[in-house]
Homo-oligomer: A and B are copies of this chain.
Amino acid sequence: MDLFSDTLSLAAPILQAPMAGSQGHALAAAVCAAGGLGALPAAMLTPEGLDAEITALRQHTQRPFNVNFFAHTVPQADAARLARWHAALTPYYQALGLDPAAMPQGAGRTPFNAQAAEVIEKHRPAVVSFHFGLPADELLARVKRTGALVWSSATTVDEARWLVQHGVDAVIAQGLEAGGHRGMFLTDDLTTQVGTMALLPQIVAAVNVPVIAAGGVADAAGIRAAQALGASAVQIGTAYLCTPQALTSAIHRTALQSEAARHTALTNLFSGRPARGIVNLVMRELGPMCDAAPAFPLATAAITPLRVAAEAKGSGDFSPLWSGQNASQLQDVSAEVLTQSFIDAWRGQSA
């Protein structure tokens, strides 16, 4: 019984990566319609917002989909670090005509919690996936009782083994090439992070559940390479960012389709955790990794007004321009057409 073709009835194991802030139900529905697995990112939604998104997705598709949550621990605010962070951002506030005294604080992203579990219990999605490990045992048990498949991301062999010991049904091997947040949760040492070509076969050899390849897979060649390395499925994110169904901003789309997209870096400036985006002004000047940035997700609040003000002037200088390392061939075709091409590639039907 194959997890992807039988349990989830996919035409091929092509999974759209959940991308919080850049997509909602429209992209997920299009991927599902083409025979892939669409995903709804819940990390930046309230329980009510998530309920509405799942309801909207169900209106567009009867097919299975994935709902993705962050499973981080909410940190204590560190006043001294927050003060250094605000000091680092103050000159930019002044330059953009914003009031540094009004710099917002707060979390911005909520981890998977009891309210989210209620939404899952109500809607019973086929797959619930997590980033940054797994939620506490009791919450995880509630998800499992709904019958959902549970997946999470591993960035090292150790993390993959840990996830399997904690009961996941599949492991997402997130290579260093991947865009957006690193799913790392057993370590914060970036030197432990491994390219897909090396990570994927080692996780395949280490665990006895299906392994999903993520990171640098953006086209037919990457799909065939992931197959050769033993992947049971591929999860593709960046390639969907330029589809009309994504909510990607015009500034972000332009950056993705420019030479600038060749240079991405891991940065903690936009959330507090390392995430891969196209290098822009604030990453060059403050980072890309910055000791003053508060712990995840506390960095987001204070940098967001800069993003909004700069974007209003047409600038992405303060925007998280999430991208993997393999964005140079991005097409702005529809998500259905893109998914179909990925399905064909998996089946060995494309050039």
Contact = CB atoms under 8 A, between A and B. Distances in A.
B191 A265 contact: yes
Contacts of A229: 221-222, 225
A170 interface: no
Contacts of A196: 195-197
Contact of A328 (B202, B262, B325): B202
A313 B198 CA distance: 32
A84 B39 CA distance: 52
Contacts of A205: 328-329
Nearest to A190: B265
B225 A262 contact: no
A219 B201 contact: yes
Contacts of A191: 263-266, 279, 288
A254 interface: no
A142 interface: no
A284 to B, nearest CB: 10
A329 B202 CA distance: 8
A197 B224 contact: no
Interface in A235-289: 262-266, 279, 288
Nearest to A287: B191
Contact of A201 (B157, B158, B221): B221
Contact of A216 (B195, B288, B326): B195
B157 A262 contact: yes
A324 interface: yes
A276 to B, nearest CB: 10
A34 interface: no
A346 to B, nearest CB: 12
A228 B224 contact: yes
A222 B197 contact: yes
Given A225-B228, A279-B191, A328-B205, A197 B177 contact: yes
Interface in A326-351: 326, 328-329
Contacts of A177: 194-195, 197-198
Which are the 7 A-B pairs with shortest beta-carbon distances? A195-B195, A197-B216, A198-B326, A198-B325, A191-B265, A224-B228, A198-B216
11 contacts: A158-B262, A175-B197, A191-B266, A195-B215, A197-B197, A205-B329, A222-B228, A224-B225, A225-B225, A227-B228, A228-B228
Interface of A: 156-158, 175-177, 191-192, 194-199, 201-202, 205, 215-219, 221-222, 224-230, 262-266, 279, 288, 324-326, 328-329
Given A191-B266, A197-B222, 11 more contacts: A175-B195, A191-B288, A196-B197, A197-B215, A199-B325, A202-B326, A205-B329, A222-B229, A224-B228, A225-B228, A228-B228
